[in-house]
Amino acid sequence: MRLYKDRCDAGKRLARALTHYTGRGDVIVLGLPRGGVAVAYEVARELGVPMDVLVVRKLGVPGQEELAMGAIASGGVRVLNDDVVRFMGIGGEEIAAVTAREHRELERRERAYRGDRPQPDLRGRTVILVDDGLATGATMRAAVDAARAREAARIVVAVPGAPADTAVSMEREADEMVLLATPEPFYAVGTMYEDFSQVTDQEVRGFIERASRAPGPVGRSGEDDGESAGQRTR
């Protein structure tokens, strides 16, 4: 069963579960590119708070890249799924090689999305981290660590859906977890959406630019939305 029409729909519904943050001057919404930015834009628009991005990259198992052995985030943060690393017998050199490759892509996306604009100051702020769904939770854990390293006062993880076991582990990572659904069985993030088409770098930039022009409520996010087929990799 599809739970959401598209990411715009998911973002609007997610915002209704976050109304206690409406209009607060200490709050910022950070979307995880690419798909999470489309959801985050709607959340920020509905709440009337600023939005930006926090770039995170999955570290895929060599030869099985859809399976996450960890993730990296802006600011030099890396988290590993130790169980996956042990079970798959992945050595340090392999982890280092994948990390280096994904770090190059992370830096490319930072330039593409942000240009010369500095990262937002998170010190003392409530940070709402938004993605279009979680699977393993590796990328969101990296995002939480990155926000803590930048001295956020409170970290809220807000997603439209996730497996129950991932939700339990994420509740231990964040100060608050806002989760709309735990589909059972959980196959992939994309199965929650009628439209889960790919979000492009250009669309991500568009969301950021619109949000920067209007930190309060703004117009609809537009027609877009979507990242390629969801898999249990986040």
pLDDT score for 130: 98
Q: Give backbone dihedrals phi and psi of 156, rounded to 5 degrees, phi first.
A: -115, 125
- How many CB atoms are closer than 10 A to CB 200? 13
- Spell out the domains of the chain, with CATH numbers in brackets: 7-55+122-213 (3.40.50.2020)
pLDDT score for 233: 37
pLDDT score for 116: 83
pLDDT score for 231: 35
Average pLDDT, 10 consecutive residues per value, the chain (234 residues): 93 98 97 96 97 93 87 87 90 94 93 88 97 92 92 98 95 96 92 96 94 57 36 37
Crossing angle (nearest 10°) for helices 201-213 and 92-114 = 50
Determine contact, residues 42/15, Cβ cutoff 8 Å: yes
pLDDT score for 1: 67
Determine contact, residues 207/37, Cβ cutoff 8 Å: yes
The structure's pTM equals: 0.85
Question: Residue 54 forms beta bridges with which residues?
Answer: none
DSSP secondary structure code for residue 53 in this structure = E
